[in-house]
Structure 1
Amino acid sequence: MVQRHRLFKRLITGIALLCLVNAAFGLDPARKISQYVHDKWGEDKGFLGGKIYAIRQSADGYLWIGTERGLVRFDGSNFTLIKRPLPNSPLINRVRGLVTDASGKLWIRLEGPRMLLYRDGRFEDPYARFDLQDITFTAAISDYEGGVILSGLGDRTFRYQNGRMETIVSAEQSPGNVISLAATRDQSIWLGTQDNGLFRLSQGHISRVAQELKDSKINALLPAESGGLWIGSDDGIHLWEGGVLATLNLPSSLKQLQILTMARDSAANIWVGTNHGIVRITPSGAVSLDQLNPKPGFEVTAIYEDLDGDIWFGGSRGIERLRNGTLTTYSTSDGLPSSGIGSVYADSTDRIWFAPLSGGLYWMKEGQVGHITVDGLEHDVVYSISGGNGEVCVGRQHGGLTVLTGKGDSFTARTYTQADGLAQNSVYSVHRDRDGTIWAGTVSAGVSRLNGGKFTNYSDSSGLPSNGVNSIVEGFDGTTWVATPSGLASFANGHWKNRTASDGLPSSIVRTIFQDTKHVLWIVTSDGLVYLSSGKIRVPVRLPEALREQILGVAEDGMGSLWFITSDHVLRVNHDRLLSDSLSETDVQSYGIDDGLPGVDGAGRDRPVVADREGRIWISGKSGLSMADPIVISKNSTPVTVRIESMSAGGSPVNAQNSIKIPSGVQTITLNYGSTNLAVPERIRFRYKLDGSDQGWSDSVASRQVVYKNLGPGTYLFRIVASNNVGLWNGPETSVPFVIEPAYWQTWWFRIACLAGCCLMILAVHRLRIHHLTKRLNVGFQERIAERTRIAQELHDTLLQGVLSASLQLDVAEDQLPEDSPTKPLLKRILQLMGTVTEEGRNALRGLRTTESPDQNLETAFSRLRQEFPLDGNTNYRVIVDSVTRPLRPLIRDEVYRIGREALLNAFMHAHANRIEVEVEYASRHLRVLVRDDGRGIDSRVLHSGLEGHWGLVGIRERSKRIGANLRLRSRIGAGTEVDLTVPGSIAFEKGSNDPISRWFRWLSRERLETPKHEKEKRVHK
């Protein structure tokens, strides 16, 4: 069978432990069977199993039902008929018995020589493990040690425990066809036969028990709390105790019934399945027979208490369940005169007073119902009930105001009417203050105040907003509050104060009011609910939709929650969350038929809901009187465990027996889950989170499936929790880890390879770019060299030769002039000027045509400039080399040299400096040339824009830009000048000079040159 139900053994173990720790509360023995919530499933509701033989619940929360049609599984919502639990095995039909052992295995007893085991979502055949020789088992139970006792047809009886199967009754000892078994605390095994009576196995010896039953068919056995044994036969129920059959004080009708099955719940109730229905025997011995039916076809053949304490039973009509409802409802079968109940009141003696809609006044205490027949109350309709300090005040439809006093079940009455000063005989709302003052609100004549035996009447002429009164309460400070159809009135210090829609009420029609223990006055208007706190009217922000209906009554239970009765709902709301405007879905519980209410149609009377002194809530309605105990509700709020039912990846089921690994490329991952709660599964809410994807927990949801799409590769942990049926998140967390495997293109090695490939590509592109740049620079350099050579030739052949020729002519002319000629000094100055021009022209031509030899480095070339430009003896010129020299690309070397030469030419000729330095740095990532002097500096405008007619600075910038270098010019008048040129190493240096070995060698050479003061040694060329 495809493993769709379990994901982890630890999940099952956790659920089992949870069930052991949180023992279920059995059905309340104080309730009648008719007061339990009774659920039924037949073919009309999806149950297709036919006649039921056995019921059990496995550790994962599923309910298993053995039927004549096969094995049925119930998850709280759906029934699944399992016909072939094991692949390649025959179909199964009748399932005769179900037993669970201490390890959580479910033993499934089939008809004929077959049996199955179920655990962790898997089935197996125990016949394949043990040599059972095709034995047909006829009975099976679990003993007190957690083992399983199995009895075969006319053969042996076995005990299975700790993985071993041993024979405890041999074929020779067999008492006959065993159809029922029981194990008691004294280590005895009891065997009930089909037609040979009862036998006992003790210390390896088997003996007949109860000679009176020697020819009886023993259908069921159940250990008794006293140590004895309950015996169910075709002749009724018996109790073996003290070595004899005890005399039972049971109804004669029960003694005549055929007993088919028995079970005991956790509250010590004995449940008996008969051929005419189910019977309950309480621990006190009381017998409930109200579920018996004299007609045939109502047999109960299987009974079981589930992990939540609910009773399941079934026969030929399907499967049924009894459970404690949140509310206990009393109706005419419990002594109420009618189903429709109006006003209700709880006094200090735990007596519940109620007024049927049809008329009269009644009380109920400890299940007993009493009727008040004084002063004509039995013939009048009671609108309202209040009281205190031993008095019960009753507002009547026609008879005015009646005050009851008395002790026990005897009461005396004093009735007040208009003749006594009451404003009107029709009193709709009555309230007794703590000081004994009684307020009687009439239908149409205002309100009357009874104090000291005298009435004071108030109407709209006295300050009331209306003469109709809907509700009256006393505030914590003694203020009396009155709800009317025209507003809310308060009476304090002899004065009335009114509040209407103009004062913040949603509507002036106030239907009912209630003050809670925190002094908050709740006001129900025709247009919604508001509350008065600290003198201000406030509107709750986050009201559930049900509280927007017509509210008939409000009360507060002993746990601090508010109960609201509306026209269609009974709600329990978290008081503090409602006040703080933080109400969530789980803070509101709505109760209905599934919780024990026969109906939710409330009666329109004053105070249809009240709390007694123990904090229990009493609710009246058209279907009876109901009670809710919040303490019992809290105790019965069993934690709910989430069950992962299946998981699929890309539509394919995931085998989760081992670690879950999902292949790459899966687009969707689907998880289906349920809960271990079988009672009200529709109320269970879930919150989940996927670690590795989700940032936080999801909102509470009712859906039982979650789908994740487009998850990337990685490790994930799906976590989920559930709230129980009262909204408490007290269950354990269920988790499912899984791994999505990466595709090859998502693996780390593939990404590293891609990264390396990208780096190599970038390097190749970079080298290609450098190659193209170098080639382009070389071409440009050759073109510029040729152009400079041509210009130099032309200048030399034309301009310079012409100047020299003119200079010679002038020199001849000057020699021919007499010494005293006034023209001779002028010619001398002209000759000197022309000599200067000639020398400058030669220097310019030398710069245009000079190309250093290929093996000459920059520092050498810069050092020889001293010979080219003779310096004043006061000028100190030196070249500094920082780090080891590296081979440069010829084009870059020449361009850098010409930039440096132009900078030095400016320094030599125009700076008038005392010190001129050139620093050359061969760094690992760049070539740097720094020319600085301490001369007179350059004006900032000239530095940035150049001097008209001079092209030195402009040429420096153009050259540096062409070779991709970074040029910085720094100068200030009187502070010298710096020309800082930086060329990237990838452009400046020859290939192979920047590899790691070369860099290490240069670093080592530099380290060896370090001084003790860790300062770099610089080579100086002078």
Structure 2
Amino acid sequence: MHRRGLRKGLLCGLALLCLVNTAFGLDPTRKISQYVHDKWGDDKGFVGGRIYAIRQSSDGYLWMGTERGLVRFDGSNFILIKRPLPDSPPISHVRDLVTDASGNLWTRLEGPSMLLYRDGKFEDPYARFDLQDMTFTATVADDAGRVILSGLGEGTFRYEDGRLETIVSADQNPGIVISLATTRDQSIWLGTQANGLFRVSQGHISRVAQELKDLKINALLPADTGGVWIGTDNGLHLWEGGVLAKLNLPSPLRQLQILTMVRDDDANIWIGTNHGIVRITRSGAVSLDQLNPKSGYEVTAIYEDLNGDIWFGGSRGVERLRNGMFTTYSTSDGLPSSGMGSVYADSKGRVWFAPLSGGLFWMKEGRVGHVSVDGLDHDVVYSISGGGGEVCVGRQQGGLTVLTEEGDSFTARTYTEADGLAQNSVYSVHRDRDGTIWAGTVSAGVSRLKGGKFTNFSDANGLPSNAVNSIVEGFDGATWLATPSGLASFANGHWSKYTARDGLSSSMVRTVFEDTTHVLWLATSGGLAFLSSGQIQVPERLPEALREQIFGIAEDGTGSLWFTTSDHILRVNKDRLLSGTLSDLDVQSYGVEDGLLGVEGVSRDRTVVADHLGRIWIALKSGLSLADPIVTSKDAVPTKVRIESMAAGGSRVNMQNPIKISSGIQSITLNYGSTNLAVPERIRFRYKLDGSGQGWSETVASRQVVYNNLGPGTYLFRIVASNSAGLWNGPETSVPFVIEPAFWQTLWFRMACLAACCLIVLAIYRLRIHQLTGRLNVGFQERLAERTRIAQELHDTLLQGVLSASLQLDVAEDQLPEDSPAKPLLKRVLQLMSTVTEEGRNALRGLRTMEPGNQSLETSFSLLRQEFSLDGKTDYRVIVDSVARPLRPLIRDEVYRIGREALLNAFMHAHANRIEVEVDYSSRHLRVLVRDDGRGIDPQVLHAGREGHWGLVGIRERSERIGANLRLRSRIGAGTEVDLTVPGSIAFEKDSNGSISQWFRWLRRERLETPKHDKGK
């Protein structure tokens, strides 16, 4: 078969594979030698010996089946698992690894034994799936993820839904099957140890490829055309269209021993041989640059991981091929030498470069060309610039050369001192947008070529120095020159200059570069500076590498700045650099692990440039390197975080949900890793613990977090990771857990404490009420005794004296003649004294009256009708709204006196037609309401009282003494209301109010509002 057929088959495979895979494989345009090649042997911790199989599980671990056992790799450390099952003997040879549709890892051991890794644990599938004592010699997973197993003398089986389905019975067994494959037509291919190749289709088994009937079939791989690739001890073969196709392959591949094969996500075929690894791209190109004629370089296992990296191994350990940030070109790729000088990328995809050893070259799509016109092949090129279809070259001895492309060749026009050039040694050259060419010389200033004529400028015209290191045209048309003595600017025919006195770190300016935001960046011998809005500034928080001498500056398609120094290649976040908020995470340093052969920069003009695609080309002493940040970022595989373990108080926690942690734990530790195995030291993490009140953490590189003194509750640990390119494009991983409370932290304990506090408060309250009641009783008894004494003294002195005087006047009046003019006067005096005597008796009766203990309040109010003479027009009623409750005697007496005083005012002053007393024994309070429809009281008198009258004053004072709420409402012509409310906890006998809440209401003094009032009538 010709190469075109091979290419067609590979292209078909790519189309099919891209439909089911989202990972990005290795860049097929690179040679194998241009990938980053990582190796781990005994010297780097690999402990497995010869490798037979490689697979990656869904949790991100890389597993290797080796002659010493099962090896697990997390990106940093290798762990040899000798005893996966604690109760089973240790294992040795692991022959194969297969991943099924559920992400479970099937591990085929030597002899009648297998392991199944699922959900982070190992188990014995023989016991789980009733596999008896079968010895399997080959395993594979079909397109649906179903595992196919071929047993030694047992036949071939398909495992699905927990059972084994027989595909080839024992009596049909073609021999010892050592390789398996499934093709899209549902055929199963069996490669034997000594009997050639067999095919199982629609339940029938048949031999294919008679030419291979006695060969050992080491590896099988489905071909895109429906056939199968066959790897034998005698080279690579392809069964296609019912025949063994003839392949147009390089002779080494036809003779090598083919040990294993795999197809990557870009449909490239990777082949492990007894002399190294080989790649066949989907275009049919064969890469043999990793073959080694020596023995001991066999590749027995190949695998493409979740990141698209290729892992392979044999007897020398495990190796990995991956895309680095850089593709480096060296002498093996057609470059004339390793050391590179100036670089220029034109608009047609051609990159021009000048080796330090001399000459001018270009590269396009991997092809290298050489320019030899006008003696360029014998001269050293210091600087390259261009535009408008021209390439301008500054030479060490030959002056200024301008190249113009004409078809496949170039015409050249060289300018020297004879043409007006200031000096034939041109160190820096630049072509403006309008076609003007500037040529900065080594020691004679700068020459401007415009309209075919030169104009020369030197320090006599305003240049800081006659040596020019770099030239650039600004966005406004100004021309900027870097010199050893400062920065120069030419605009509108005038020169300006800037030195260390104007803010430069050093007057020695090595390079000048203008970015897309029109900021002018200046590389000096003292570090980095920039010119913006006419002011030179030194960025704050510069990394140490940017405080040294900088050789080159460029900006990529993502807006990041690139710098080269004597020993650093840096990519820096431009916005953070300008704002002075640069952190370590905003500076990426690259090295050999990123595809570079070295990091030593070159002191020439334009050693770092960006092409029209935003890619960065860097000239180094180790070669010419290309970085593509846009594609690298776009193709970056999302990184998932793997929670490796959890410990509480130093003890490992079972990660099975739900995770419950007992109380009293002082610290919780979580260890985690990432599924990205490429450059794990660049992976960064951010985490958050919901339930702790803390936000997202700072970006960290550590793989452990410890939380101390967490209280009981429900928590959710959340964590995300960036990939090695710094992108946060991965999913979030979360772990919920619960810290159980101690008994003193439980709800029932807190409720019990609350209840106890309430009881204590209640007891204190009741004790206080008892104390207040006792004080009230003592006060009442004292006041009663005082009133009794006053009543006795008034009766025995004042009232008796008035009666005696009245009798004397009555005798005197009887002795006067009827016609005496004094007799009417004495009669009026006697009548007045009689009135005073009656009022005195009433006052004394009020002072001494005490209702009997068994007489209710409403009864006492009803008897007042007998005490006060009422005319027949006044309707007097006493109304009870509820069942009477036992009252505290002292409270009853005070309430009675307040009510009696209110009724006395109504009887004597209101001239009312209706007087009512309403008594309400509510569960919350005792209420007495006295109302009449009389003439009312002037609001001013109601508020301020009447001079010489103490009735309202007494009512208010009595109500305040017993903690009652008194309201007086009246107006002229609308009657009067006296509303007295006493809290039930004060008014009623113990336990008579029936509501504990009333005590708390009284304790909080939530009483009805009492209007402000003064002394009454």
TM over 0.5: yes
Give the Cα separation in 1 of the matches to 2:253 and 2:563: 44
Give the Cα separation in 1 of the matches to 2:835 and 2:441: 132
Q: How does 1:240-259 map to 2 (within 5 A)?
A: 240-259=239-258
- The answer as to 2:53 corresponding to 1:51 is no
Q: 1:998 to 1:647 in 2, by over 3 A?
A: closer
8 A contact 1:22–1:638 mirrored in 2: no
Question: Residue 328 of structure 2 aligns with which residue?
Answer: 329
Q: How does 1:921-936 map to 2 (within 5 A)?
A: 922=920, 924-929=923-928, 934-936=936-938
Question: Residue 512 of structure 1 aligns with which residue?
Answer: 511
Give the Cα separation in 2 of the matches to 1:571 and 1:107: 44
CA distances 1:950-987 after superposition (whole Å, capped 9, x unpaired): 87666545433332223467899999997654321221
How many Å apart are 1:610 and its aligned residue?
1.4
How many Å apart are 1:380 and its aligned residue?
4.1
Q: How does 1:748-897 map to 2 (within 5 A)?
A: 759=758, 762-763=761-762, 765-805=764-804, 807-809=806-808, 812=811, 838-854=837-853, 856-858=855-857, 861-862=860-861, 865=864, 868=867, 883-884=881-882, 886-887=884-885, 888-897=887-896
- Give TM-score, length-normalised by structure 1: 0.84
Give the Cα separation in 1 of the matches to 2:769 and 2:459: 103
- The answer as to 2:388 corresponding to 1:386 is no
Unaligned runs of 5+ in 2: 1-16, 999-1017
Q: 1:121 to 1:936 in 2, by over 3 A?
A: closer
Secondary structure at 1:93's aligned position in 2? coil
How many Å apart are 1:32 and its aligned residue?
1.5
Deviates more, 1:196-205 or 1:83-92: 196-205
Q: Which amino acid is 1:300 matched to?
A: V
Question: Residue 286 of structure 1 aligns with which residue?
Answer: 285
Question: Residue 674 of structure 1 aligns with which residue?
Answer: 673
- The answer as to 2:444 corresponding to 1:442 is no
How many Å apart are 1:988 and its aligned residue?
1.8
Q: How does 1:103-142 map to 2 (within 5 A)?
A: 103-142=102-141
Question: Residue 99 of structure 1 aligns with which residue?
Answer: 98
Q: 1:780 to 1:788 in 2, by over 3 A?
A: same
8 A contact 2:923–2:995 mirrored in 1: no
Give the Cα separation in 2 of the matches to 1:551 and 1:792: 114
How many Å apart are 1:55 and its aligned residue?
0.5
Secondary structure at 1:678's aligned position in 2? coil
Q: 1:261 to 1:846 in 2, by over 3 A?
A: same
Secondary structure at 2:783's aligned position in 1? helix
Give the Cα separation in 1 of the matches to 2:708 and 2:18: 35
CA distances 1:86-111 after superposition (whole Å, capped 9, x unpaired): 23111111111111223322110111
How many Å apart are 1:54 and its aligned residue?
0.9
Q: 1:603 to 1:998 in 2, by over 3 A?
A: closer
8 A contact 2:906–2:915 mirrored in 1: no
8 A contact 1:937–1:977 mirrored in 2: no
8 A contact 2:54–2:63 mirrored in 1: yes
Q: Which amino acid is 1:596 matched to?
A: G
Give the Cα separation in 2 of the matches to 1:630 and 1:170: 55
Unaligned runs of 5+ in 1: 1-17, 1000-1022
Q: Which amino acid is 1:61 matched to?
A: G
CA distances 1:650-702 after superposition (whole Å, capped 9, x unpaired): 44444344544444554544433322211122333333344444465444333
Give the Cα separation in 2 of the matches to 1:298 and 1:204: 40
Q: 1:221 to 1:975 in 2, by over 3 A?
A: closer
Give the Cα separation in 1 of the matches to 2:883 and 2:129: 90
Question: Residue 417 of structure 2 aligns with which residue?
Answer: 418
Question: Residue 3 of structure 1 aligns with which residue?
Answer: none
Secondary structure at 2:172's aligned position in 1? coil
Question: Residue 1008 of structure 1 aligns with which residue?
Answer: none
Give the Cα separation in 2 of the matches to 1:844 and 1:144: 115
Q: 1:428 to 1:809 in 2, by over 3 A?
A: farther
Give the Cα separation in 1 of the matches to 2:880 and 2:335: 112
How many Å apart are 1:313 and its aligned residue?
0.8
Q: 1:224 to 1:792 in 2, by over 3 A?
A: same
Identity percentage of aligned residues: 79
CA distances 1:578-629 after superposition (whole Å, capped 9, x unpaired): 6788878776654333221223332232222212223322112232211122
Give the Cα separation in 1 of the matches to 2:736 and 2:333: 54
Give the Cα separation in 1 of the matches to 2:20 and 2:715: 30
Q: 1:426 to 1:863 in 2, by over 3 A?
A: farther
Question: Residue 31 of structure 2 aligns with which residue?
Answer: 32
8 A contact 1:788–1:849 mirrored in 2: yes
Q: How does 1:69-108 map to 2 (within 5 A)?
A: 69-108=68-107
Secondary structure at 2:219's aligned position in 1? strand
Deviates more, 1:853-862 or 1:105-114: 853-862
Give the Cα separation in 1 of the matches to 2:864 and 2:563: 106
Q: 1:975 to 1:283 in 2, by over 3 A?
A: closer
Give the Cα separation in 1 of the matches to 2:757 and 2:317: 72
Give the Cα separation in 1 of the matches to 2:522 and 2:901: 97
**CA RMSD, Structure 1 to Structure 2 (Å):** 4.2
Q: 1:312 to 1:929 in 2, by over 3 A?
A: same
Give the Cα separation in 1 of the matches to 2:558 and 2:871: 107
CA distances 1:912-932 after superposition (whole Å, capped 9, x unpaired): 887997765635533345668
How many Å apart are 1:67 and its aligned residue?
1.1
CA distances 1:550-578 after superposition (whole Å, capped 9, x unpaired): 54433333445443445554444566676
Deviates more, 1:332-341 or 1:657-666: 657-666
Give the Cα separation in 2 of the matches to 1:351 and 1:19: 31
Give the Cα separation in 1 of the matches to 2:925 and 2:547: 79
Secondary structure at 2:702's aligned position in 1? coil
Give the Cα separation in 2 of the matches to 1:569 and 1:976: 102
Q: Which amino acid is 1:934 matched to?
A: G
Give the Cα separation in 1 of the matches to 2:910 and 2:984: 34
Deviates more, 1:296-305 or 1:497-506: 497-506
Q: How does 1:616-627 map to 2 (within 5 A)?
A: 616-627=615-626
Give the Cα separation in 2 of the matches to 1:940 and 1:494: 101
How many Å apart are 1:314 and its aligned residue?
1.1
- The answer as to 2:312 corresponding to 1:299 is no
Q: How does 1:649-660 map to 2 (within 5 A)?
A: 649-660=648-659
Question: Residue 359 of structure 2 aligns with which residue?
Answer: 360
How many Å apart are 1:497 and its aligned residue?
4.7
8 A contact 1:23–1:307 mirrored in 2: no
8 A contact 2:923–2:994 mirrored in 1: no
- Give TM-score, length-normalised by structure 2: 0.85
Give the Cα separation in 2 of the matches to 1:917 and 1:432: 116
Q: Which amino acid is 1:935 matched to?
A: I
Q: 1:908 to 1:21 in 2, by over 3 A?
A: farther
Q: How does 1:266-277 map to 2 (within 5 A)?
A: 266-277=265-276
Question: Residue 149 of structure 1 aligns with which residue?
Answer: 148
Question: Residue 1012 of structure 2 aligns with which residue?
Answer: none
Q: Which amino acid is 1:107 matched to?
A: W
How many Å apart are 1:850 and its aligned residue?
0.6
CA distances 1:158-178 after superposition (whole Å, capped 9, x unpaired): 332333323333443333333
Q: 1:868 to 1:502 in 2, by over 3 A?
A: farther
Q: 1:814 to 1:712 in 2, by over 3 A?
A: same
Give the Cα separation in 2 of the matches to 1:328 and 1:789: 118
CA distances 1:850-892 after superposition (whole Å, capped 9, x unpaired): 1124455545545655665668999x79677584464333221
Secondary structure at 1:627's aligned position in 2? strand
8 A contact 1:803–1:834 mirrored in 2: yes
Give the Cα separation in 2 of the matches to 1:963 and 1:919: 20
Give the Cα separation in 1 of the matches to 2:282 and 2:21: 22
Secondary structure at 2:438's aligned position in 1? strand
Question: Residue 1015 of structure 1 aligns with which residue?
Answer: none
CA distances 1:624-643 after superposition (whole Å, capped 9, x unpaired): 21112234313421122222
Q: 1:871 to 1:679 in 2, by over 3 A?
A: same
8 A contact 2:49–2:317 mirrored in 1: yes
8 A contact 2:65–2:94 mirrored in 1: yes
Q: Which amino acid is 2:513 matched to?
A: F
Q: Which amino acid is 2:937 matched to?
A: G
Q: 1:142 to 1:774 in 2, by over 3 A?
A: same
Question: Residue 643 of structure 2 aligns with which residue?
Answer: 644
